[in-house]
Amino acid sequence: MTTLSQAGPATSVRTAEPAASLRRVTVSYGATTALHDCSLDIAAGETVALLGPSGSGKSTALKALAGFETPTSGTVHLGGRDVTTASPAQRGIGIVVQSYALFPHMSVRKNVGFGLRARRIASAETRRRVDETLRMVGMFDYADRMPDELSGGQQQRVAIARALAIRPNVLLLDEPLSALDASLRQSMVHELQQLKDKLPGLAVVYVTHDQNEALALADRIAVMRNARIESLGRTEEMFNHPPTEFSATFLGGADVLPARILEDAAAGAPLRADYLGHVLEAVAREDSAAGQTVGLAVRPWSWTVVDGGSSSNPALRVEVTGVQWRGSSHRVQAVSPETGQTLHLERTAGQPVPQVGDSLRVTVEPSEILVVPVEKSDVS
C-alpha cells in the first residue's frame, strides 16, 4: 500500500488542537442566513460528514472552512491557527467538488501538479509527488490523458489527486460522487475508504445528502437543517440512537408516531405510550415521566406484517397506497385509516409483496422503536 508522507504545515503533532474548527460561524447573504452560529471541530485523522437536505447550509459550512466565504460573525481555525481572514490559497486545504472542475486544457499530470507549481515547488519534487498521488488513486497510467478522454469516475479520481498533491492536513469533499451513476458511486465509496487508510492523519469533511455515503465513510455525522447543525455524534450512535426526530427521519427513514407516555419509566425499562388510542410498548431511552409527549420512530424494516401470530405490540391496520421496487427490496407506502398517518414498510426478498389497495395489519417489537423527543414547533 502506498502511504503518503504528510509534508504539510507541522500542526497535527504539536498539540491536540483540532485540525479544523468552525467557532460560532454565521454566514448571511442579505436577509438569508445560510449558516447560523455553527461550531464544529474536526480532529486530525477524522472524517466528519455534513449530512442534510438541499439548502440546509452544508456547502456554506464547507466554503467557510475553505475560505471561499467570509463569516458574517465567528471564526475559522486550522490546527489552532485563526484563519478567518486568510485566503483559500493561504489555508492549504484540499478541496473536491461535485463537478470535478478539472482544467480542460491541461493533461492529468498538469492538473494534479497545478497546486504544487503555484506553490513554486521544484519541478523534480512536483513530478515525484504527482506520480505518488496518481498511483494512490489508481490513475498513474492515465497521466498523459486530457480530462475529456476520461470517464466521470476517472475525472473525479484526478480531482481528488489534485486536492491531495499539496499534502493538505484537511480535505473538503462537497458531494464528490453525486455526478456519478449508482454503481460507480458504490465503488468510489470503497476507494475513498481505502484512501483514508493510506492517509491516517488527514482530516476530512464530507458534504452529502446521501445517508449511505455518510454511514460508510464518516466517523461522526453532523445532521444539518435550516442553516444549523441539528445533531452531531458518532456515526453508529447517530444511526442506532438518533437524538432527534429529524435525525431519525433523515438517517434510516423512520416514521415518527406522536405518543404520550402513560407511566413513569426509568432509562432502559419498558415504556408504555399512547399513540392516538393505540398503546405501544417501547424501551425508555432516558428516565421518562407520565404525560410527556415523545416520538416513537420506526424504520421501514422494523415493521412486521402480522398474519395471525401473536406479537408484543398490538397491530395497526393500514391500507397500501403505493409499492416501489428497489431491486433487493420493496418499499411499501401505507396509510392508517384510524390515525391518518402514512407509514413506510420494507419487504425484503422472499417476503410476500402486498398490492395497492390491500389491507394489512402491522406491528413492531418494543426494542425496534426509537424513542425521540418531539419537536416543540415546526422549525421549517
Contact 25, 2 (CB under 8 A): no
Phi, psi of 164 (to 5 degrees): -85, -20
Judged on CB neighbours under 10 Å (0-12, 13-18, 19+), 267 is: exposed
Q: Are 225 and 52 in contact (CB under 8 A)?
A: yes
The span from the CA of 263 to the CA of 43, in Å, is 42
CA 118 to each of CA 90, 115, 126, 192, 280: distance values in angstroms, whole numbers, following the listed order? 12, 5, 11, 26, 63
In angstroms, the CA 304 to CA 361 distance is 9
Closest CA to 375 of 227, 209, 231: 231
Place of cell 426526530: 245
Q: Which is nearer to ligand ADP, 154 or 208 (CB)?
A: 208
Identified binder of ligand ADP from the candidate list 8, 52, 295, 300, rule CB under 6 A: 52
User: Which DSSP symbol is given to 107?
Assistant: -
Residues in the chain: 380
Taking CB under 6 A as the criterion, the residue among 26, 56, 302, 336 binding ligand ADP is 56
How far apart are CB 191 and ligand ADP at their closest, in Å?
23
33 burial (CB, 10 Å; 0-12 / 13-18 / 19+) is: middle
Query: Which three-class secondary structure string do you get for 240-308?
Result: HCCCCHHHHHHCCCCEEEEEEECCCECCCCEEEEEECCEEEEEECCCCECCCCEEEEEECHHHCEECCC
Q: How far is the CB of 58 from ligand ADP (least distance, A)?
A: 4
Cα torsion 77, 82, 84, 89: sign: negative
Identify which of residues 204 and 362 has a Cβ nearer to ligand ADP in the complex.
Answer: 204
Rounded to a whole number of angstroms, the minimum distance from the CB of residue 61 to ligand ADP is 7
CB of 173 vs ligand ADP, minimal distance in Å: 12
Q: Which of 55, 152, 253, 258 binds ligand ADP (CB under 6 A)?
A: 55
Q: Does 366 bind ligand ADP (CB under 6 A)?
A: no
C-beta of 277: minimal distance to ligand ADP in Å? Answer: 39
The binder of ligand ADP chosen from 19, 22, 34, 51 (CB under 6 A): 34
Considering the complex, state which of residue 50 and residue 364 has its C-beta at the smaller distance from ligand ADP. Answer: 50
Per-residue x/- track, 4-33, ligand ADP (CB under 6 A): -------------------------x--x-
How far apart are CB 54 and ligand ADP at their closest, in Å?
4
How many Cα atoms occupy the beta-carbon half-sphere of 361 within 13 Å?
A: 9
Closer to ligand ADP by CB, 250 or 303: give it: 250
Least Cβ distance, residue 120 to ligand ADP (angstroms) = 32
The 139-168 contact track toward ligand ADP, x by CB under 6 A, reads ------------------------------
Q: Stretches 7-15, 54-62, 315-323, 368-376: which one binds ligand ADP (CB under 6 A)? A: 54-62
Decide: is 103 part of the binding site for ligand ADP (CB under 6 A). Answer: no
Q: Which is nearer to ligand ADP, 27 or 273 (CB)?
A: 27
Beta-bridge partners for 228: 225
Q: Out of 5, 54, 183, 328, point to the residue binding ligand ADP (CB under 6 A).
A: 54
Q: Binding of ligand ADP at residue 225 (CB under 6 A)?
A: no
Does 58 engage in binding with ligand ADP (CB under 6 A)?
Answer: yes
Q: In this complex, which beta carbon is closest to ligand ADP, that of residue 58 or of residue 109?
A: 58
Min dist. Cβ of residue 179 to ligand ADP (A): 15
**Which among 334, 380, 379 has a CA at the least distance from the CA of 357?**
334
- CB closer to ligand ADP out of 29 and 325: 29
Total residues at interface with ligand ADP (CB under 6 A): 11
The alpha carbon dihedral of 64, 68, 74, 79 has a sign of positive
Q: Give whichever of 34 and 93 is closer to ligand ADP, judged by the CB atom.
A: 34
36 near ligand ADP, rule: CB under 6 A: no
C-alpha to C-alpha distance for 218 and 249, rounded to whole angstroms: 19
What is the contact surface with ligand ADP in residues (CB under 6 A)? 29, 32, 34, 52, 54-60
